[in-house]
Structure 1
């Protein structure tokens, strides 16, 4: 949520920033916030005036009684004041709630480094690593390869759960776990604390983490309960300190979330209709950090470097893009995507999102900074980045490490987690 003081003190600056997103509805919403806030402040002044008048009347009535003066008119006015005050206070609360709702619907303010663009085709490449390699017409789609290896069953999963789900078997399950453990070990060595969060969140903290009006349609909700399956461990990690005071001396706080993720949207076509790249359920190791405002830009680069290191050690070529205004969601002020090279598809595809959400989430969640238990005026910044979403990480490994005989070489860095196994070979399963 944008700082209301910033809206009041620098409205032109806020409006110009919102205009960079090229979404007229945001400017309309911003105008509504300002109008509601003006009306609310006027209502507060009226309420304050009425309270002062009440106190003044009490004094005047007391003086009149002391000196034997008439009190009837003063008493009549005093008697009418409570009802008038209730009306004004109710209006004040109504305006405050409407203003705060409108304010929460505004997106985060963009970092000045965010490039202008209409959609993801206009994201700006800022780094590359590795060479895509020669074209290999013999490569199989990862879903077909998994079925030939006997390590996945998409048809039976579709039968019992619907599209976007899968059964995995044998060494491929172990490879999934190996990829998670590899990413987690890398983060632990860099000062991150592993966290296994709740897999469900109540609505109130979820509304602090993100704008549910935009996000709810891709989330699973437990029927008749105030609970949502998490779309990423970023969300429960952001809500970990809801309503709390964080000591500035304890920051930055680096967390590594490990969890399944659940999303209704799978979208796509072709290779995405069958396989593990875009699914309703997947495993992910997530980086999350709470930071002092002045250190969040450097910490964003740190999270990005960690994610890059995962794919470097896996030996997967990738590029990093600075996400443009038209592709940036409401919560992030700045975002990098890492796109890995998929040789069969001959395309770079997103495998990592790395965002600085500045004070947007923390303000919505009521998290503040202080020292020695004394609250201050500052709000921490929150940052998040994929370390690895194993479904996408495994999909690119299957394309990158596929051998001509239909087996799959295990990346060197993952072999210790598989007891030294260097090749995935077909396993026998009932058809």
Structure 2
């Protein structure tokens, strides 16, 4: 959640952020009113508790004649305190509910507009040309024996799939490369749970307006994560972190689940937009004044990874109206998909400032030793299914084979190409 002091001291800034997002700016005034009501309720309860304390002391010093009246007053004050404390709890709950509804304040450099208004910052690599008819990743994957959508749908329904043979091995190779790169950059590898409690989902901003995207296990009151960001953020909830040596960084591996509500008819073919995929996610806790620099570092690591995969891409600065609830700024990397003749999102990285840490009570100590909220940032290093789709398309060859980037070959038995019908010996490849 945003800093309540910021709302009190600079409400126009928060209203402007709401307008930029296309969100309801009247919520800012409602939050200010709820804050005033809560402070009034707290003062009223404190004043009554003070009177009650004085009345209790008066009972002890009262004479026999005075005692009944003093006791009656103390009794009335006790009832009034009880009512005032209930009013305080009600006002606090109302304030909290409104506070949760306001998304993070957008960074001043974020472009205005919506989904179609992202600004391209740079384009890296040349878009490949082919002297043969380009196939999409599903055609290539089926010919390789790498993707089986039909049986995925038979077992689990639409937007599910099997990765088989070279497809499964590509997943393991990408995971190995991503994790090894992250560890070399100083990240601690984490295998994160894919099921989390409601407070972790709410704390990271994935409930509320986004809850239609989330799978919920009602019997156990747990949620399937759409990204390991949720578990990694929640891992340090209600803790005070030592960041004296710099940011604390994790590379989380987990399966991810998304209902894709509202995406009916979009990307129904292949494994670009699916209900389940595996992902390696970078997550960083750092001091708030280091967040912008850390955001750039996460983006740099994402770019380096795609360069190792020999994929042409562009970096875009996402517009305010297309930001998620928690993000103050977000960069996407869109890679080239030949079958579509366009760039599509492959990774993203978001600076969530102190928005998530305030919800989850994650703090570090400042120079004076006082606990303060930390900044949290996330970045996808490799969303594996979509990356496999892009690899197959970009690196396809006329004979149906697929070029293997050099960085992946150590985990694919040294093979420079994957070909239909080729024998892949697991002992050699893993």
The verdict on a shared fold, with TM-score over 0.5 as the criterion, is: yes
* Structure-2 separation of matches of 1:168 and 1:183: 19
- Please report how far the alpha carbon of residue 11 of structure 1 lies from its aligned counterpart in structure 2 after TM superposition: 2.5
Q: Distance in 1 between matches of 2:264 and 2:134?
A: 19
1:202-213 aligned at under 5 Å gives the runs 202-213=197-208
Which has the higher mean CA deviation after the structures are superposed, 206-215 or 401-410? Answer: 206-215
Q: Which runs of 4+ in 1 moved over 6 A?
A: none
Unaligned runs of 5+ in 2: 424-430
After TM superposition, the structure 1 stretch with the greater mean CA deviation from structure 2, 4-13 or 297-306, is 4-13
> Aligned runs of 1:137-152 on 2, under 5 Å?
138-152=133-147
Paired position in structure 1 for 2:2:
2
- Checking the alignment, whether the CA contact within 8 Å between 2:145 and 2:167 is kept in structure 1 is no
User: Is the Cα–Cα contact under 8 Å of residues 145 and 166 in structure 2 kept in the other structure?
Assistant: no
1:78 pairs, out of 61, 74, 80, with 74
Q: Distance in 2 between matches of 1:322 and 1:50?
A: 53
Match of 1:326 among 321, 325, 341: 321
TM-score (normalised: structure 2): 0.93
Kindly indicate whether the alpha-carbon contact (under 8 Å) linking 1:187 and 1:256 is maintained by their aligned counterparts in 2.
Answer: yes
- Residue-by-residue CA offset, 1:333-387 (whole Å, 9 max, x unaligned): 0000000011221100000111000000111001111279x96241100000011
1:402 to 396, 402, 426: 396
2:428 corresponds in structure 1 to none
Distance (Å, rounded) in 2 between the aligned partners of 1:93 and 1:270: 46
* Contact 2:336–2:342, Cα closer than 8 Å, also in 1: yes
Query: Cα distance, 1:61 vs. partner?
Result: 4.5
**1:201-224: CA deviations, max 9, x gaps?**
011222111241222222222241
Q: How does 1:192-341 map to 2 (within 5 A)?
A: 192-265=187-260, 272-341=267-336
Pair 1:224–1:375, CA change in 2 (3 A) = farther
Name the residue aligned to 1:382: 376
| Alignment partner, residue 420 of structure 1 | 414
Other-structure match for 2:110:
114
Residue pair 1:120, 1:326 contacting (<8 A) in 2 also: yes
SS of residue paired to 1:308: helix
Map of 1:11 onto structure 2? 11
Match among 85, 91, 98 for residue 89 of structure 1: 85
Offset of residue 255 of structure 1:
0.8
Distance 1:22 1:283 in 2: 32
What is the TM-score normalised by the length of structure 1? 0.93
Q: CA deviation at 1:133?
A: 2.9
Q: CA RMSD in A?
A: 2.1
Shift in Å, 1:63: 4.6
Count of aligned positions: 423
